[in-house]
Amino acid sequence: MMPSMLRIRHQTISHTESDDMKTMTCRELGGACDQKLSAETWDEMVKTMTKHVMDKHPDTAKAMEKMHNEDPKKWGREMKPKWDAKAED
Ligand SMILES: [Zn+2]
């Protein structure tokens, strides 16, 4: 008999339609203001946030760069669940 506990949960890969935008604020992503940032994918959100932080919050950008150098996955580990929890607009 196969124990049902061994069943592996498959992660569904998100389909990418052009209007599947999600919006998060700078603050939700560890930034310093309430600017709304929209993106279709997490990778795009990371780029959007990085650009915003470099433009608007040089100090935060430095802190994030330092964090990235120490642990490249840390920021994503903390912020990605928030992204995943967001409903599409
Ligand atoms: Zn900001």
pLDDT tens, residue by residue, 17-76 = 557 899 999 999 999 999 999 999 999 999 999 999 999 999 999 999 999 999 999 999
More confident residue, 16 or 57: 57
Q: How confident is the model at residue 2 (pLDDT cuts 50, 70, 90)?
A: low
Q: In this predicted structure, what is the pLDDT of residue 5? A: 53
Q: In this predicted structure, what is the pLDDT of residue 50? A: 96
Q: In this predicted structure, what is the pLDDT of residue 7? A: 52
DSSP letter for 9, please: P
Q: In this predicted structure, what is the pLDDT of residue 11? A: 47
**Residues flanking ion ligand 1, Cβ below 5 Å:** 26, 31, 33, 35, 56
Q: How far is the CA of 23 from the centre of ligand 1 (A)?
A: 13
- Helix, strand and coil content of the chain, in percent to the nearest 5, comes to 50, 10, 40
How many whole angstroms separate alpha carbon 33 and alpha carbon 61? Answer: 13
Q: How far is the CA of 67 from the centre of ligand 1 (A)?
A: 18
Q: How far is the CA of 54 from the centre of ligand 1 (A)?
A: 9
